[in-house]
Amino acid sequence: MREDVAESLSDVVISTCGAINRPQYLPKMPTRSELTNVFDDNFSDCQPYLFRVVRHPLHTGDKTCETSTFLSSGGLSTVKKLLKDTLSF
């Protein structure tokens, strides 16, 4: 019974994450003039404009695959297994 509940819950979590992980639901980065209204600027070394976030592809041998391909192939089953193992007492 616990495995069924864990599997159902992991399916719900994965489908919910997939539904909300779309670009239209992500907030837009504020302009510099609105930065203090959105972020706490007391820490000068932790501002989002000091860093450049870049998405690098995963390299497997001589093939290059994107992170989404990784999640759709084997990574998704790994996440499900992790959730199942966590929820089984």
Domain borders along the chain are 1-27+58-89
pLDDT in tens, 46-83: 655 555 666 666 665 555 454 555 455 566 677 777 77
Q: Is the pLDDT assigned to residue 42 strictly greater than 70?
A: yes
Helical H runs in 1-89? 2-20, 35-38, 67-70, 76-87
Two tokens, residue 66: 């994107």
Q: Which residue has the higher pLDDT, 4 or 77?
A: 4
Residue 63, Cβ neighbours under 10 Å: how many?
9
